[in-house]
């Protein structure tokens, strides 16, 4: 927090072009309070975690990713639901950021989960699946408000911009609550 702003890494679970999760993440950038500096932290180029690589030849993408995590005061994960769980890329990012053993980049930092899906259950399964590893990694999670966005494709225009006003208002209240929560957690550290 060198310029008075909290540096918040936004990790998007969907890697595809036209990702609904990326569209929601972009809306958070627009709605963020002035005291938050959001930054995308890319996970699509991370090789699958293999402990041997940490001992032999650390992939450049891992070095980049871990350095970016070090520069963040907290994290927001924006994810779809895949098969009642999280995308493999999200779990891999958690693993890469938590290793090598004893060098957990997530430890003690504030976090939040935003779930979005074109389905009707709001990607609840993804949120439920993401909480246990985040808790184990000591990411201190915002409990309320929870964010489960159903039928997300109906809330976006043809350019992927969030146009539904009630959803924008809700996300604004979420990001404002996260700013207060994250500031309190960082102040304690």
Task: Give pLDDT tens digits for 50-66.
Answer: 999 999 899 999 999 99
Counting the structural domains of the chain, the total is: 1
Residues with Cβ within 8 Å of 117's Cβ and at least 6 positions away in sequence, in order, are 20, 80, 81, 123, 126, 149, 150, 151, 152
Pairwise CA distance, residues 57 & 52, whole Å: 8
Does residue 1 form part of some domain? no
User: For residue 102, is it left (φ>0), alpha (ψ between -120 and 50) or beta?
Assistant: left
pTM: 0.95
| Residues spanned by the domain of 160 | 6-188
pLDDT band at 3 (very low <50, low <70, confident <90, very high): confident
Would you say residue 57 lies in a domain?
yes
CATH number at residue 111: 3.40.50.360
Neighbours of 95 (CB within 10 A): 16
Q: pLDDT tens for residues 100-136?
A: 999 999 999 999 999 999 988 768 899 999 999 999 9
Q: Has residue 100 been placed in a domain?
A: yes
């Amino acid at each position: 927090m060198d310029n008075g702003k909290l540096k918040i890494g936004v990790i998007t679970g969907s890697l595809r072009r036209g990702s609904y999760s990326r569209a929601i993440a972009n809306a958070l950038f627009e709605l963020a309070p002035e005291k938050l500096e959001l930054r995308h932290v890319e996970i699509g180029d991370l090789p699958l975690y293999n402990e041997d690589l940490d001992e032999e030849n650390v992939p450049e993408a891992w070095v980049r990713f871990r350095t970016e995590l070090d520069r963040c005061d907290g994290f927001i994960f924006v994810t779809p639901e895949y098969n009642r769980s999280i995308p493999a890329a999200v779990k891999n990012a958690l693993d890469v950021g938590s290793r090598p053993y004893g060098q957990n980049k997530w430890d003690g930092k504030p976090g939040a989960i935003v779930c979005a899906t074109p389905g009707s259950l709001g990607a609840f399964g993804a949120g439920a699946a993401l909480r246990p590893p985040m808790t184990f990694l000591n990411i201190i999670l915002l409990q309320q408000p929870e964010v489960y966005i159903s039928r997300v494709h109906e809330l976006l225009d043809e350019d992927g911009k969030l146009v539904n006003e009630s959803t924008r208002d809700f996300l604004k209240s979420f990001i404002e609550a996260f700013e207060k929560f994250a500031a309190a957690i960082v102040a304690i550290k």
